[in-house]
Amino acid sequence: MVGIRRAFSLVELLVVIAIIALLMAVLVPALRRARDQAREVVCKNNLRQVGLAANMYAEEWEQLIPRGLGAETGRAWYQLFLPYLSQKAGDGDYRSIDIYRCPSYPDKDQTVCFVVNGWGFKDRSDDVGFEVLEPTRLTDCTRRAGTIYLADNEDGRWRDIIRKADDEGNNKCDVWSPAHLPGSDAQDSSNAYERRVARQRHRNGCNTIFLDWHTDWIAADDMTIDLWRFEK
């Protein structure tokens, strides 16, 4: 007598598929969050390395720190910090330097994933400000723990991809206008008024490093002009 072979019924198969789908629905978001958290940690660590380089630069140059770059005025902050980093750029090519990168930046060709505080103000009531091109002394900052120095660079299509020091857009890696903040919808790069600080690089905000060299995540809605003022 031939034995009867038992197979899965259609209902049983559907139950198994439903369980697998349920597990995937639970696990995939958790894995995605873990991946995003790991990238955020790497980004903050890179910012800390840049902060160490900025501090060493200041110690060597009488407490001066680089600000913005524009109109052939000189070199950008990421060029000036190179002598204080363990990584070097070959022939001005920054693709070999990981410290200036954020692993969450969508375009992997972007080598400068942070923007610097190049914002000056006439007085404490000034809510517009102007671009600062010359280095500034750390002692001019009245509350270093509350003043942003670097933040995540926005990845909008209007933002230039920088691979080498002289690539177009190397003078737009600073922040000096309300239009540059995450709450802005400005995208006009032709006149330098476009969002430059990432709106949602990490969660719904971005990573920053302050002038006392601590790093922090800031929600886009909490990014205010006052966080960029040297004189509070």
pLDDT value, residue 219: 98
Angle at 212 between CA 206 and CA 215, to 5 degrees: 25
Query: Domain total for the chain?
Result: 1
* Amino acid, single-letter form, for residue 68: G
Q: Taking Cα atoms as reference points, which of 206, 212, 209 lies closest to residue 145?
A: 212
Domain with 169 in it: 10-228
- What pLDDT, on a 0 to 100 scale, did the predictor assign at position 149? 98
Please give the pLDDT value at position 74. 73
Whether residue 2 lies inside any domain: the answer is: no
Domain assignment of residue 139, yes or no = yes
Residue 43 · residue 104 · CB < 8 Å? yes
pTM: 0.85
Strands 205-210 and 215-219: antiparallel
Q: Is 166 among the domain residues?
A: yes
pLDDT tens for the chain, 232 residues: list them. Answer: 455 556 667 777 777 787 888 877 777 776 677 788 899 999 999 999 999 999 999 999 999 999 987 545 578 899 899 889 888 777 777 888 899 999 999 999 999 999 999 999 999 999 999 999 889 999 999 999 999 999 999 999 999 999 988 888 888 999 999 999 999 999 988 888 999 999 999 999 999 999 999 999 999 999 999 999 999 8
3-state SS string for the chain: CCCCCCCCCHHHHHHHHHHHHHHHHHHHHHHHHHHHHHHHHHHHHHHHHHHHHHHHHHHHCCCEECCCCCCCCCCCHHHHCHHHCCCCCECCEHHHCCCCCCCCCCCCCCCCCEEEECEECCCCCCCCCEECCCCEEHHHCCCHHHCEEEEEECCCCCCCCCCECCCCCCCCCEECCHHHCCCCCCEEHHHCEECCECCCCECCEEEEEECCCCEEEEEHHHCCHHHHCCCC
Does residue 172 belong to any structural domain of this protein? Answer: yes
Residue 3 lies in a domain: no
Per-residue HEC secondary structure of 136-147 comes to: EEHHHCCCHHHC
Is 5 inside any structural domain?
A: no
Domain assignment of residue 35, yes or no? yes
